[in-house]
Amino acid sequence: DIQMTQSPSSLSAPVGDRVTIRCRASQTISSYLNWYQQKPGKAPKVLIYAVSSLQSGVPSRFSGSGSGTDFTLTISTLQPEDFATYYCQQSYSLPWTFGQGTKVEIQ
Amino acid sequence: EVQLVESGGGLVQPGGSLSLSCAASGFTFSSYWMSWVRQAPGKGLEWVANIKEDGGAKYYVDSVKGRFTISRDSAKKSLFLQMNSLRAEDTAVYYCASLTMVGGLTWYFDLWGRGTLVTVSS
């Protein structure tokens, strides 16, 4: 199975900051990498698919990059509504696997 | 409205069975691969199973193979998960989700339901 490791596991940042979350795969996954946001008590929501494609309706402050085994999700200007947990997920091979999550708290 | 609504969760004893349903509306259900994804309390997300548009292909995570069965009824626009021989470690919120393919190669979970809680405990 492909292991997905996110860093950091949690972070606290003020509104307006630039935030970067990293995701590393245990083997190459080409561009088969997606990012999800989950708010407490809610279902996850896709933000970015195929490394860098922004899902319709998602604010442009979210962006993704990377290739191979190393990927990043960037929030360019953190907003209060971005308080959530973020997960990366690979769809390169079954079983599809998720990172353990990065909890973003607003300072 | 485009939505998925799960039902059927509840409390079940270890070794018991439970059947989950997911009702789709607002989109062409028969054109989409569908999935179940679960989340244990306070934990991360775990993919459970996929089913092809016509039900002709099914895939499972190893931990549920032989115990869970995914199925669908396009006439009823519904997805199902039959769970047998349940264990404490199956306790989780179960989400159904539609899959979208990109570029003929990669997939992502597009639309998600709100989830239904399954608790396995004596």
Of the partner residues A32, A46, A95, the one whose CB lies closest to the CB of residue B47: A95
pLDDT digits (tens, 9 = 90+) for B56-106: 999 999 999 999 999 999 999 999 999 999 999 999 999 999 999 988 778
Residue A59: what are its φ and ψ, rounded to 5°? -60, 145
Chain B nearest C-alpha distance from A90 (Å): 9
For testing the chain B interface, which of A96, A98, A100 should be mutated: the one with the most B CBs within 10 Å?
A96
Distance between CA atoms of residues A88 and B45, nearest Å: 10
Q: What is the average pLDDT value for chain A, to the nearest integer?
A: 97
3-state secondary structure A51-89: CCEECCCCCCCEEEEEECCEEEEEECCCCHHHCEEEEEE
Of the partner residues A32, A50, A95, the one whose CB lies closest to the CB of residue B62: A95
Distance between CA atoms of residues B30 and B108, nearest Å: 17
Contact B113 A87 (CB under 8 A): no
pLDDT digits (tens, 9 = 90+) for B1-39: 999 999 999 999 999 999 999 999 999 999 999 999 999
Direct distance between the N- and C-terminal alpha carbons of chain B, in angstroms, rounded to an integer: 39
**What are residue A20's DSSP bridge partners?**
A74
Distance between CA atoms of residues A84 and A102, nearest Å: 8
**What are residue B18's DSSP bridge partners?**
B83
Kindly state whether A106 is in contact with chain B, defined as any CB-CB distance less than 8 angstroms. no
Of the partner residues A44, A45, A46, the one whose CB lies closest to the CB of residue B45: A44
Please list the pLDDT of chain A residue by residue as tens digits (107 residues). 999 999 999 999 999 999 999 999 999 999 999 999 999 999 999 999 999 999 999 999 999 999 999 999 999 999 999 999 999 999 999 999 999 999 999 88
> What SS3 state is found at B1?
coil
Chain B nearest C-alpha distance from A34 (Å): 7
Contact B108 A44 (CB under 8 A): no
> What SS3 state is found at B31?
helix
Determine the pLDDT at residue A106: 87
**DSSP line for B80-106:** EEEE-S--GGG-EEEEEEEEEEETTTE
Contact A87 B59 (CB under 8 A): no
